[in-house]
């Protein structure tokens, strides 16, 4: 007997997250716990259970409750800065993971804060541990720098992918010399 889920869609995890999870959240305000965990796998696979456990602690041991509260708080505000603050300040997420969540949920407003892209842009990578005015200013500078160093006409996510790919290509090219 075949399962009702077509598991092939998880093979290209980013396509699933941006094509199904984000749109579902934007129409319903709901993030399923499994989908939040999939975002952790996508951005920080090695730290996924640590991130989950941190959120569980903040929600009295229940990851599902944490995800529900996060979704409600993010849906309740339209302010980009406050959305980042909710994840970092209220839930203790570092900038790279917080930006990955927001990239899935709000792909026209956020891009993933990534060490490889920072290196490509000549920026210092600082995975801020807490939200502050300085972390917001640095993230905004990062976002604008991503946009100004990529070809015109690309979506914000494709700008990030362009720089990530360029970094990978540059590293691989240097390795085969």
Q: Residue 112: its pLDDT value, please?
A: 97
At residue 35, the pLDDT reads 98
In a domain, 108, yes or no: yes
Q: To the nearest whole number, what is the mean pLDDT of the chain? A: 95
- Cα-to-chain-centroid distance, residue 37: 12
Q: Which residue has the higher pLDDT, 103 or 1?
A: 103
pLDDT at 1: 54
Mean pLDDT of the region 122-148: 94
For the residues 22-47, what does the mean pLDDT come to? Answer: 97
Stretch 37-51: mean pLDDT: 97
Q: Is the pLDDT of residue 44 over 60?
A: yes
Neighbours of 86 (CB within 10 A): 23
**pTM of the predicted structure, to 2 decimals:** 0.94
- Residue 142 located in a structural domain: yes
| Assigned domain for 3 exists | no
Q: What is the pLDDT of residue 127?
A: 84
Q: What's the domain range around 160?
A: 8-175
Residue 89 lies in a domain: yes
Question: Domains in the chain: how many in total?
Answer: 1
Residue 33, in any domain of the structure? yes
Mean pLDDT confidence for 133-137: 94
pLDDT of residue 2: 64
Q: Is the pLDDT of residue 128 over 90?
A: no
Question: Which distant-in-sequence residues (6+ apart) come within 8 Å of 72 by Cβ?
Answer: 29
User: What is the predicted pLDDT for the residue at 77?
Assistant: 97
**How confident is the model over 63-116, as pLDDT tens digits?**
999 999 999 999 999 999 999 999 999 999 999 999 999 999 999 999 999 999
Produce one character per residue of 19-42: b if its CB has 16 or more CB atoms within 10 Å, e if not: eebbeebeeeeebebebbbbbbeb
């Amino acid at each position: 007997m075949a399962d009702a889920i077509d598991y092939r869609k998880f093979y290209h995890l980013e396509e699933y997250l941006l094509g199904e999870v984000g749109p579902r959240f934007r129409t319903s305000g709901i993030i399923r716990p499994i989908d939040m965990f999939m975002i952790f796998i996508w951005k920080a696979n090695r730290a996924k259970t640590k991130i989950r456990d941190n959120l569980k602690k903040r929600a009295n041991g229940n990851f599902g409750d944490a995800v529900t509260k996060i979704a409600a708080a993010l849906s309740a505000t339209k302010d980009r800065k406050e959305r980042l603050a909710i994840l970092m300040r209220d839930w203790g997420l570092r900038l790279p993971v917080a930006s990955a969540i927001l990239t899935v949920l709000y792909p026209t407003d956020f891009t993933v804060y990534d060490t490889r892209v920072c290196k490509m842009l000549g920026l210092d990578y600082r995975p801020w541990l807490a939200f502050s005015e300085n972390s917001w200013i640095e993230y905004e500078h990062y976002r604008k720098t991503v946009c100004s160093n990529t070809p015109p006409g690309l979506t914000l996510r494709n700008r990030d992918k362009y720089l990530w790919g360029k970094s990978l290509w540059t590293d691989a090219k240097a390795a085969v010399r």
